[in-house]
Amino acid sequence: MKISSETGTTLPRGLVRCCTTIARWWASGNMPPVDQSARWIAVAVSLLVGAASCVSSEVSFIGPKRPARPDGCALQIYPSTPPSYSYVNLASVLAKCQYLGRNACIQELSSQACAVGSDTIYGFSEGMVDGQITSISATMAARADVPGTGAPAAEACTPICSPGFACVRHQCIPECNPACAPTEICNGHRTCEPAPRSPTPPASVPAPPRA
C-alpha cells in the first residue's frame, strides 16, 4: 500500500511548504530580487501554475502498521549502515525536494517516519534529477525491543545521537563505515585507529628447586 504526503482537497502540502518557505525568505530580506535571479523567476512561475511542489514524498508499507508518533519525535538515523540493534522494517519512503536541497528531504523523511510510528531511519539512497530535484529514499523501522513488539522497552539517548552514532546504554557511540578490524577501534571522528594494547603481564618467576 502506498500513501502520498500530497493527498487531500487542499493545496498539496509540498506546495504550501514551498510557498511558506519562499515567503519567509522574502520577508527576511535574504532572497535576491526577482529581476536579478532567473532561478527565482522559475520558482515563482512553477508556483503560479502549480506545475510542481517543492517537497513531496511517497510511503510504501512493507511491515506491520504502528500508531503514529508526534511530529518531531526522536529518531535514530543511520544514513549508510543498518541499525546496531534489532529492528522491524515498517515502510520505505522516497522524498523529493525541488530547490530546497538535502536538508528539506531529511526533514520530510523524519516527518513521515513519525507519522508511521517509526523510531529509526536507515539506508539512504540519494540522487539528483535535472540538477534541481534532490531525491532520498530510505527505510523506516522500529526497534524490536520497544513496547508492541513483545520485548522490554528500549533505552534512549537525549538528545538523540547524530548520524553515524548509535545509542548504547544511554551513550552515543561512534560507528565507522566500513567497520574497523578486530585490532582497531572507532574513535570520535568515526575513523579507525589501533586499539590500545593490554598491559603485558609480568614474566613468571620459576620456583626454586626443592632441596
163 with 188, same domain: the answer is yes
45 with 109, same domain: the answer is yes
Q: Mean pLDDT across the chain, nearest whole number?
A: 74
Domain-located, residue 54: yes
The tally of domains found in the chain comes to: 2
- State residue 1's pLDDT score: 42
Is pLDDT above 90 for 101? no
SS3 for 15?
A: helix
- State residue 93's pLDDT score: 95
Domain-located, residue 208: no
Please give the C-alpha separations between residue 4 and each of 11, 44, 97, 156, in angstroms, as whole numbers.
13, 24, 14, 30
- State residue 106's pLDDT score: 92
144 with 41, same domain: the answer is yes
139 with 169, same domain: the answer is no
79 with 177, same domain: the answer is no
Domain-located, residue 210: no
Q: Which residues form the domain of 180?
A: 155-194
- Give the residue among 73, 69, 71, 80 at the shortest CA–CA distance from 13: 71
137 with 111, same domain: the answer is yes
Q: Which of 41-45, 64-68, 106-110 has the lowest mean pLDDT?
A: 41-45
Mean pLDDT of 141-165: 65
Domain-located, residue 207: no
